[in-house]
Amino acid sequence: MGGTKMLAAVFDSSFRPLARKRQKTQGYEGVRAGLDRIVKTIKNALEKAEIRVDQVRGIGVGCPGPLDLDRGIMIDAPNLGWKDVPIKKTLEKEFGCQAIIANDVDLGVFGESRFGAAQSARCVLGVFPGTGIGGGCVYEGRIIRGRTSSCLEIGHIQVIPDGPRCGCGLKGCLEVVASRLAISAAAAQAAFRGQAPHLREMAGSDLSKIRSGVLAASIQAGDVVVEEIVRNAAGYLGTAVAGAIHLLAPDVVVLGGGLVEAMPKLFLESVDAAARQHVMSSFTSFKVVTAKLGDDATVMGAAAWAQDVIDED
């Protein structure tokens, strides 16, 4: 993914951070080059931590896109141009220890449940709106997953019957109306029409420039229409969350990702209000919170999940 950051972190057995190394991926680099970059980033982090390869007990990796979790294969990552990438096999051969891969959002939710905003919760539902909308659930300390793949694709719950077509091919998905991309597109139209003068001054109607921080600054400056767009999107998010609450009865719902980090109060209020409006009265004991760990949620979750899986084997 062009400009996307790859983060490797080294932790001791008590999950104290020893070192970290951040790299940018190089757009549509080939699979071999991408795997070499992953290996190099891990090795650089180990060198920084002054840890030998033979001292590594296990490696956890958070990956986007469809995965074969048991075989450790990234099936398809369209934004990277990768297909059928043998991450587990490559890392185990290179480092001589067990490698565990999981969905990056699942690991972020797991990190928040172990170390962050949802510690001691029995059931945690995590929702992370960004370019898309990722979801994950941790139930009694375990990531809920499918037979071979991750699940909780909350971004593809239908919220508008026969609505606009989503990138996945279905119609009316949550992502179409509540992702950062959808919000930015609606805000760009408002700026173009002159309804959001502060946004127009900051970014024009250029979709690529209307990021989470710019949206937040636009609202802060007084663009009421942009705030309405974001609150409307967060309302759809809360409606989808309500459906998930009926299925899972989580005691904590964690909201995370760049949009939420930029506008935590707005998202917390809007999602909580919409979710409570759409759940049965017997399901209202949940609490909506914002994520605490930021980028560390996924790497800490990956390390902790790898330890749990390895300890079971």
Whichever domain contains 133, its CATH number is 3.30.420.40
Note whether 258 and 128 are same-domain residues.
yes
Q: Please give the Cα distance from 181 to 258 (Å, whole number).
A: 12
The encoded tokens of residue 134 equal 């990722």
Residue 79 has pLDDT above 70, yes or no: no
- What is the total count of domains within the chain? 2
For residue 204, is it within any domain?
yes
Q: Please give the Cα distance from 164 to 160 (Å, whole number).
A: 8
Average confidence (pLDDT) over 5-26? 86
Note whether 305 and 278 are same-domain residues.
no
- Strand order, beta sheet including 67-68: 67-68, 73-77, 82-85
What is the pLDDT, as a whole number, of residue 295? 83
Average confidence (pLDDT) over 183-203? 96
Note whether 266 and 299 are same-domain residues.
no
Note whether 273 and 137 are same-domain residues.
yes
Whole-prediction pTM: 0.92
Note whether 129 and 219 are same-domain residues.
yes
- Strand segments (E) across 31-96: 58-63, 67-68, 73-77, 82-85
Note whether 149 and 222 are same-domain residues.
yes
Residue 202 has, within 13 A of its CA and on its CB side, a CA count of: 24
For residue 110, is it within any domain?
no
Note whether 51 and 180 are same-domain residues.
no
Q: Is residue 8 helix, strand or coil?
A: strand
Note whether 233 and 269 are same-domain residues.
yes
Question: Tens digit of pLDDT for each residue in 229-240?
Answer: 999 999 999 999
Distance of CA 133 to the CA centre of its chain: 7
Note whether 92 and 213 are same-domain residues.
no
- Confidence class of residue 29 from pLDDT cuts 50, 70 and 90? low
Note whether 138 and 95 are same-domain residues.
no
Question: Tens digit of pLDDT for each residue in 236-269?
Answer: 999 999 999 999 999 999 999 999 999 999 999 9
What's the one-letter identity of residue 310? I
Q: Which domain holds residue 150?
A: 117-290
Note whether 146 and 250 are same-domain residues.
yes
Residue 83 has, within 13 A of its CA and on its CB side, a CA count of: 1
Residues shown for the chain: 313
